Structure 1
Amino acid sequence: MKHIAPTHAMLFEGIDPLDAERMLPCFDAHERAYDKGETIMRAGDITHSLGIVLDGSVNIVANHIWGARDIFVHAEAGQMFGEAYAVSASKLLVDAVAAEPSRVLLLNAEKMLHVCGQSCPYHHRIIQNLVRIAALKNIALSRRIMHTAPKTIRERVLSYLAEQALEHESRSFAIPFSREQMAGYLGVDRSALSAELSKMQRDGLIRFKKNRFELLA
């Protein structure tokens, strides 16, 4: 399982780890451990904290009233979640759920946006990093929209796997999702997804075993 030190997260990029460590009390930073499937942030609540994944991974999930579940974002170690809701103090429209046993650093967003009385020399860099991360998250959401736009399951799968191959710079790679999570991310039925993957393998398009895939065509 990938894990990082709190001060090695992208939020503290460009800041010496010792300086970042000194800043944590300014943001009311505290760590919490979560079991797989445990809810970290719940839809309908208002959160003042954003989270950074230190160990494990977190899914941002929309639970629809008719029972369907869609995974919008998968956050791995070093990545942040909940910042848009924490900064805006808006009610959460999604759940943040531990995808596996995970450890999360929670930080008060309001204190992060306002330079404290101690005038930490790197506080402005934190704000710059926060804006950059938000931009990257918008790109990630745009990718999901691109993957779920096609009408057929095969087209959605190929769109997602092609993007993963590009990201890994290899036609052979591991994806961060279980089969159920992949189905949720692509907005399709799990059984239908499994059936289509088997067809794609028989057609010579892909080879796969669990979460490892290889593009053949």
Structure 2
Amino acid sequence: MFGAAYLTEKKEGRLMEKFYGVLEKSPLFDNIKVDEYKVLMTCINGNIRKFSSDDYVFLAGSQISYVGIVLSGTVEIIKENPAGARLIMDVLGPANIFGEGIVCTKARIAPVSVRVKEAAQILFIPFERIIRTCGNACNFHFQLIQNMMMILGEKNFRMNSKIELLMLKGMREKLATYLIHESQKNNSRSFDIVLNRNELAEYLNVSRTTMSRELGRMKDEGLLDYYQNSFKILDLDTLKECLMV
């Protein structure tokens, strides 16, 4: 791992307790009681590492044997071609997990890179400690395995949704699909996105100039309003009609 700062065992224990509230929101710890976390962390040998902005957690081609849970900050999952063009696959904030799809393969070779967008603290858990029960027969190990299966299913669903988004040919179709999804995720027609304009263009795999021009047209037509990373959908019905073209 690149740029990681390691913590002493004593400091790590105190820091881990600080993030119990974040871990509660992680799907990997669904249905596991907070008062079990201290024992759980010992069983699964979890450890926290700090990263600065622009650090790489790992690069494509690396062999991975752990999953990571973002405790603070944000990370980007990115795919780069030989020419250096970058496609943002996902942006993950606190409580989100990454690496789970890689460690479940035979070779465990990462097809993507993980880059720190905003200074982050990440909990790393050896995958073997998740899928194998310990000698103490802790009940939460069985729950971890069940949770991991659910996470893998959800990841597959999200990847299919991303593929469908990338397959859309029209710029307006892509923007409408993305913005409607973000609105549904936030349960509001007014929402903030984590991507800036360059990152949004990379996520949609489009030209930033063309994308910005189309956003301007959609604003002029009264479909939406925006300022920097804040968006408001003004005409949801017409925006949905963009998907039927």
TM-score if structure 1 supplies the norm length? 0.93
Q: Secondary structure at the match of 1:122?
A: helix
Q: 1:7 to 1:158 in 2, by over 3 A?
A: closer
Deviation at 1:4, TM superposition (A): 4.5
Which residue among 163, 166, 175 is the counterpart of 2:181?
A: 163
Give the AA of the match of 2:203. Answer: Y
- Report if aligned partners of 1:51, 1:107 keep a CA contact under 8 Å in 2: yes
- Report if aligned partners of 1:26, 1:111 keep a CA contact under 8 Å in 2: yes
Counterpart Cα distance in 2 of 1:191 and 1:58:
25
Aligned to 1:10: 27
Deviation at 1:67, TM superposition (A): 2.0
Give the AA of the match of 1:45. Answer: S
Deviation at 1:103, TM superposition (A): 0.9
Counterpart Cα distance in 2 of 1:4 and 1:69:
32
- Report if aligned partners of 2:74, 2:116 keep a CA contact under 8 Å in 1: yes
> What are the superposed Cα offsets for residues 60-109 of structure 1, whole Å, 9 maximum, x if unpaired?
10011122111112222111000111232421110011121111100000
What is the aligned-residue identity percentage?
29
In terms of fraction of residues, the more helix-rich structure is 2
Give the AA of the match of 2:148. Answer: L
Structure number, greater radius of gyration: 2
Q: Secondary structure at the match of 1:77?
A: coil
**144-153 vs 73-82, which deviates more?**
144-153
- Report if aligned partners of 1:57, 1:76 keep a CA contact under 8 Å in 2: yes
- Report if aligned partners of 1:174, 1:212 keep a CA contact under 8 Å in 2: yes
Deviation at 1:173, TM superposition (A): 1.0
Give the AA of the match of 1:122. Answer: F
Q: 1:79-98 residue pairs with structure 2 within 5 A?
A: 79-88=96-105, 89-98=107-116
Give the AA of the match of 1:137. Answer: K
Q: 1:161 to 1:32 in 2, by over 3 A?
A: same
Counterpart Cα distance in 2 of 1:101 and 1:208:
27
Counterpart Cα distance in 1 of 2:199 and 2:185:
19
Aligned to 2:214: 196
- RMSD of the alignment, in Å? 1.6
Q: Give 5+ residue unaligned stretches, structure 1.
A: none
**141-150 vs 122-131, which deviates more?**
141-150
- Report if aligned partners of 1:73, 1:141 keep a CA contact under 8 Å in 2: no
- Report if aligned partners of 2:68, 2:99 keep a CA contact under 8 Å in 1: yes
TM-score if structure 2 supplies the norm length? 0.83
Deviation at 1:146, TM superposition (A): 2.3
Q: Secondary structure at the match of 1:157?
A: helix
Aligned to 2:197: 179
Answer yes or no: is 1:144 the counterpart of 2:162.
yes
Answer yes or no: is 1:67 the counterpart of 2:111.
no
Runs of 4+ with >3 A deviation: none
Q: Give 5+ residue unaligned stretches, structure 2.
A: 1-17, 236-245
Counterpart Cα distance in 2 of 1:25 and 1:87:
22
> What are the superposed Cα offsets for residues 29-52 of structure 1, whole Å, 9 maximum, x if unpaired?
111111122111211110111100
- Report if aligned partners of 2:23, 2:95 keep a CA contact under 8 Å in 1: no
Counterpart Cα distance in 2 of 1:105 and 1:179:
29
